[in-house]
Amino acid sequence: MNQEPKDFIRQRIVRDIDEGVVTGGVVTRFPPEPNGYLHIGHAKSICLNFGVAEEFGGVTYLRFDDTNPLKENEEYTDAIARDVAWLGFSWDDRLTHASDYFEQLYQFAEELIAAGKAYVDSQSNEDIRATRGTLTEPGTESPYRNRSVDENLDLFRRMRAGEFADGEHVLRAKIDMASPNINLRDPVLYRIRHAHHFRTGDAWCIYPMYDYTHCICDALEGVTHSLCTLEFEDHRPLYDWVLDNINVNFHPPQIEFSRLGLEYTVMSKRLLNRLVVEGLVSGWDDPRMPTIAGLRRRGVTPGAIRDFCRRIGVTKQDNLVEMSLLEFCIRQDLEATAPRGMAVLDPLPVTITNYPGDGETLSAPWHPQRPELGERDMPFGPRLFIERDDFAEVPPRKYKRLTPDQPVRLRYAYIIEVEEVIKDDAGEVVELRCRYLPESKSGEDTSGIKTKGVVHWVDAAHAVAAPVRVYDRLFQVPQPGGDTLREDLNPDSLTELQGLVEPAIVASDQQRFQFERIGYFCKDAVDSGVFNRTVTLRDSYRPDGGAAGG
Ligand code: ATP
Ligand code: MG
């Protein structure tokens, strides 16, 4: 690297390489528990782990931490692998599971027992919890703490053999019940769970705990930098204790960084799961969810997510990132890449009274600054739709669009002016009868008229009617809570409209578009024919979190 590395983790890695601590290449891992879908917080960890390995010519394991058979399943492992790949990262053949190491983990546990460093405790879970002590008071030693090695080995083997019921015994590390760090007060290493595991089936009825498993897996995989979030800082002494007390010849350093917190959403899998289970969203991939699957369905690209992760950086400071930063990254990315077309979401019929014939085909670029995206055909005819709020009978000051006295240009087409405003009995405008200026065709304009405004439109004979889901933030408060989850929801997070979309957009094999003057939209990957709003346009974004109008 010839560039000064920017965050403390990259600086540490450079130092470890310079000082010869790391000789065989950088090895990292991303260790999700397959008990839910990945969210944007995980993306931060993925970008960091895979990112540093890429930058330093190393490798990354995708390791499923599947130590709790009651909560984990294959739907989740598949979704996680798909999401990591979609974000643009590759683990090659380094896809592992904690369960791949169950036998080794068991052997290390016997080793700890043989060395007098672990014991079988026969207290109930409640008693174990009650005797752990508090931050200010030491814990109390278990009456079973001084069982002999032989008795411990015998009991532990019988635990494995299935002779006991759930909760009858646990294996605990024998460290220090008076340690100021509660994690070192004889933590549980194994518990009995007569449960079917989605990979190991019924081979095991004892399962290792996360803190015991994680460090050993890191060591076995030769992880040179075990990067995790700050809540594990207090667990680091246990991570080190386990590796110091078993016979393994590799000891990765655990390095902690702050979790990503994001405004107007929740990030804990428990709460995301509640949203799904309680039917408050349509699923893990609901476009309002902060999950990778939700963001993908919303129309967000992997590039936008990676850009976001790069901008937030990696520190040890806990922080809450503004949702508007994520929206900014999404917008930036789509602004440059998404083709542009026209759709009308609140249609007002326009009839061009002086238009001869049925129509013609105009042509327009897909992107004004990206000629390489090509052009599309655009049907134009005597019956059109414009957006209802692009006409005002009594215009407010500085109104630049169509009024009875003010012509407007139809984007990539002609100038029109109002001839007659047709209303229904209630006084509502139901149609505009207009004249067009044939000599004002875009690109060949000889009319000499310069309009104040340009509006979008679609041709009534060819526009495709499509449901348009206008998504907004899922929550109406910056920091929704578990206790107020339902009240904190934004009641207007989804508005479904019937839109009229330019036919070339529907026919195109592209997924994401800018609907000119409205926002960025994508074709829904699940419900065909539906468009999802990804994000508003910059100029219609209101920082108060309210829905932006068309
Ligand atoms: P949750 O608390 O939401 O259930 P978790 O941390 O238990 O999340 P894991 O599947 O264990 O979820 O996470 C895998 C990895 O992703 C861990 O290394 C964890 O530190 C990291 N991670 C999870 N959430 C975030 C976040 N918000 N920001 C950064 N990294 C995160
Ligand atoms: Mg976890």
Query: Domain boundary at 257, 288, 304, which?
Result: 257
Annotate 18-46 with DSSP letters as a single string: HTTS--S--EEEE---SSS--BHHHHHHH
Q: Which residues contact 201 (CB under 8 A, 6 or more apart)?
A: none
Q: Which residues contact 126 (CB under 8 A, 6 or more apart)?
A: none
| 386 lies in some domain | yes
Residues 253 and 156 in one domain: yes
Q: What is the mean pLDDT of residues 265-273?
A: 95
Angle of CA points 429, 433, 438, to nearest 5°: 145
Ligand 1 pocket, residue 271 CB under 6 Å: no
Mean pLDDT of the chain: 95
Beta bridge partners of 531: 468, 523
Please, how many CA atoms are within 13 Å of residue 219, restricted to the half-sphere of its CB? Answer: 23
- pLDDT of 318 reads 87
Number of the ligand closest to the Cα of 33: 1
Rounded distance, CA 340 to CA 514, Å?
Answer: 5
Q: Which residues contact 378 (CB under 8 A, 6 or more apart)?
A: 342, 361, 362, 363, 364, 412, 413, 459, 502, 504
Range of the domain at 385: 346-456
User: Percentage of the chain with pLDDT > 90?
Assistant: 95
| 323 lies in some domain | no
Ligand 1 pocket, residue 409 CB under 6 Å: no
Torsion of CA 7, 13, 16, 22, to 10 degrees: 170
Q: Is the pLDDT of residue 464 over 70?
A: yes
Query: Domain boundary at 257, 276, 310, which?
Result: 257
Pick from 306, 88, 104, 299: nearest CA to 216: 104
Q: Which residues contact 495 (CB under 8 A, 6 or more apart)?
A: 469, 470, 472, 547
Decide which of 543 and 285 is more confident: 285
Ligand 1 pocket, residue 34 CB under 6 Å: no
The SS3 call for residue 365 is: strand
| 106 lies in some domain | yes
CB atoms within 10 A of CB 145: 15
List the catalytic residues.
33, 259, 269
Residues 251 and 371 in one domain: no
| 520 lies in some domain | no
Ligand 1 pocket, residue 229 CB under 6 Å: yes
Rounded distance, CA 26 to CA 435, Å?
Answer: 69
239 C-alpha to ligand 1 centroid (Å): 17
Q: Is the pLDDT of residue 539 over 70?
A: no
| 522 lies in some domain | no
Ligand 1 pocket, residue 176 CB under 6 Å: no
Q: Which residues contact 149 (CB under 8 A, 6 or more apart)?
A: 113, 114, 116
Handedness of CA 416, 420, 424, 427 (dihedral sign): positive
- pLDDT of 490 reads 97
Rounded distance, CA 515 to CA 533, Å?
Answer: 10
Q: What is the mean pLDDT of residues 23-40?
A: 96
User: Percentage of the chain with pLDDT > 70?
Assistant: 97
Overall pTM > 0.85: yes
CATH number at residue 245: 3.40.50.620
Residues 375 and 249 in one domain: no
**Residue 8 per-residue DSSP state:** H
**Which residue shows structure tokens 């105009």?**
362
32 C-alpha to ligand 1 centroid (Å): 7
Q: Do 484 and 447 form a contact (C-beta atoms < 8 A)?
A: no
Q: Do 264 and 323 form a contact (C-beta atoms < 8 A)?
A: yes
Q: What is the mean pLDDT of residues 517-541?
A: 89
pLDDT digits (tens, 9 = 90+) for 176-218: 999 999 999 999 999 999 999 999 999 999 999 999 999 999 9
Residue nearest to atom 13 of ligand 1 (CA): 32
Token readout for 435 is: 């004249």
Residues 357 and 235 in one domain: no
| 479 lies in some domain | no
CATH number at residue 452: 2.40.240.10
pLDDT digits (tens, 9 = 90+) for 75-133: 999 999 999 999 999 999 999 999 999 999 999 999 999 999 999 999 999 999 999 99
CB atoms within 10 A of CB 41: 18
- pLDDT of 547 reads 41
Query: Domain boundary at 229, 257, 285, which?
Result: 257
Q: Is the pLDDT of residue 544 over 80?
A: no
Residue nearest to atom 29 of ligand 1 (CA): 259
Pick from 292, 212, 267, 229: nearest CA to 38: 292
Q: Is the pLDDT of residue 253 over 50?
A: yes
Please list the alpha-helical segments (H only) found in 289-407: 292-298, 302-312, 323-337
244 by Cβ neighbours in 10 Å (0-12 / 13-18 / 19+) ranks as exposed
Q: Identity (one letter) of the amino acid at 213? A: T
**Residue 328 per-residue DSSP state:** H
- pLDDT of 319 reads 86
Q: Is the pLDDT of residue 540 over 50?
A: no
Rounded distance, CA 322 to CA 208, Å?
Answer: 38
Rounded distance, CA 305 to CA 485, Å?
Answer: 25
Residues 18 and 135 in one domain: yes
pLDDT digits (tens, 9 = 90+) for 340-350: 999 999 999 99
Domain count, the chain: 2
Residues 354 and 233 in one domain: no
User: What confidence tier does 482 reach under pLDDT thresholds 50, 70, 90?
Assistant: confident
- Best residue among 72, 217, 229, 272 to mutate for probing ligand 1, ranked by most atoms within 8 Å of CB: 229
Beta bridge partners of 206: 192
Pick from 495, 490, 486: nearest CA to 474: 490
**Residue 391 per-residue DSSP state:** B
142 C-alpha to ligand 2 centroid (Å): 28
Rounded distance, CA 520 to CA 524, Å?
Answer: 13
| 421 lies in some domain | yes
CA distances, 519 to each of 386, 451, 500, 504, 540 (Å): 16, 23, 14, 17, 8
- pLDDT of 542 reads 41
Q: Is the pLDDT of residue 1 over 50?
A: no
| 132 lies in some domain | yes
Q: What is the mean pLDDT of residues 138-146?
A: 98
349 C-alpha to ligand 2 centroid (Å): 55
Rounded distance, CA 300 to CA 337, Å?
Answer: 12
Rounded distance, CA 518 to CA 178, Å?
Answer: 63
**Which residue shows structure tokens 């500085």?**
398
Rounded distance, CA 185 to CA 179, Å?
Answer: 6
